[in-house]
């Protein structure tokens, strides 16, 4: 019997986006809600009252058991997907997918640039991200992808969704950074046409 899943987060494109894409791709039923919908209180009340295990979101409730940390959530929901090699069976490829996922985590600072910062803080964070943070990873990602369909070969993995989330936000802020890399642009287009993912991306709120 499938577990009852409640994904608890803000309605923004950030730490829960990879999980939402994965659940859509796997055709897995879940309820997306916020702290008000799940705990009956706002985020700050949930945080100060100890309802959030680490005082932060996202959370995934699996039959009522709370799982925190976005990486743990991403790996758990990936384990529910039955499509071949979404988590690679080959241990070396599985480690590669995990490393790629962690690289996406290293690039998470694009999320508050899109969703949180404004004015002087936005300009400062954006400058730092596009001149120092992203350039340390993007050339290696371009090289690793090469002419492959997906980062681990012919089939998408959860790492593709984690990296797509980052590149999608990068493209939103600075479109030219992505468009100058043909392989990255083609890979993003392939991800966007995956069954389930296509429908999710078309229905999510505007950023």
DSSP state of 82: -
Tens digits of per-residue pLDDT, 138-160?
999 999 999 999 999 999 999 99
pLDDT of residue 41: 98
If one counts every other C-beta atom within 10 angstroms of the C-beta of residue 3, the result is 15
Rounded to whole angstroms, the Cα distance separating 200 from 192 reads 9
SS3 state of residue 60: strand
Using a pLDDT cut of 90, give the percent of the chain over it: 98
pLDDT of residue 90: 94
Contact 57, 35 (CB under 8 A): yes
Mean pLDDT of 21-33: 98
Given pLDDT bands bounded at 50, 70 and 90, which one contains residue 83? Answer: very high
59-62 and 65-68 strand pairing: antiparallel
Q: What share of the chain is helix, strand, coil (3-state, %, to 5)?
A: 55, 10, 35
Mean pLDDT of 164-168: 98
Rounded to whole angstroms, the Cα distance separating 165 from 75 reads 15
Burial class (CB in 10 A: 0-12, 13-18, 19+), 184: buried
In the predicted structure, residue 32 carries a pLDDT above the cut 90: yes
Rounded to whole angstroms, the Cα distance separating 56 from 112 reads 15
In the predicted structure, residue 206 carries a pLDDT above the cut 90: no
pLDDT of residue 205: 80
Mean pLDDT of 64-68: 97
In the predicted structure, residue 1 carries a pLDDT above the cut 80: no
Given pLDDT bands bounded at 50, 70 and 90, which one contains residue 36? Answer: very high
In the predicted structure, residue 193 carries a pLDDT above the cut 90: yes
Rounded to whole angstroms, the Cα distance separating 58 from 61 reads 10
In the predicted structure, residue 78 carries a pLDDT above the cut 80: yes
Q: pTM score, two decimals?
A: 0.96
Q: Is the peptide bond before 58 cis (omega within 30 degrees of 0)?
A: yes
pLDDT of residue 143: 97
């Amino acid at each position: 019997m499938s577990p009852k899943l409640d994904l608890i987060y803000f309605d923004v494109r950030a730490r829960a986006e990879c999980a939402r894409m994965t659940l859509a791709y796997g055709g897995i039923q879940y309820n997306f809600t916020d702290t008000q919908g799940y705990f009956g209180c706002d985020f700050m009340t949930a945080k100060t009252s100890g309802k959030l295990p680490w005082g932060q979101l996202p959370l995934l409730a699996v039959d009522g058991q709370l799982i925190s940390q976005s990486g743990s959530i991403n790996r758990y929901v990936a384990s529910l997907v039955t499509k071949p090699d979404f988590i690679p069976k080959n241990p070396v490829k599985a480690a590669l997918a995990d490393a790629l996922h962690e690289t996406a985590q290293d690039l998470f600072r694009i999320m508050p640039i899109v969703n949180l910062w404004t004015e002087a803080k936005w300009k400062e964070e954006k400058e730092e991200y596009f001149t120092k943070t992203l350039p340390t990873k993007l050339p290696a990602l371009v090289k690793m992808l090469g002419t492959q369909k997906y980062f681990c070969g012919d089939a998408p993995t959860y790492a593709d969704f984690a990296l797509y989330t980052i590149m999608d936000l990068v493209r939103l802020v600075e479109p030219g950074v992505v468009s100058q890399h043909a392989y990255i642009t083609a890979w993003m287009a392939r991800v966007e046409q995956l069954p389930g993912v296509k429908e999710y991306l078309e229905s999510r709120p505007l950023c």
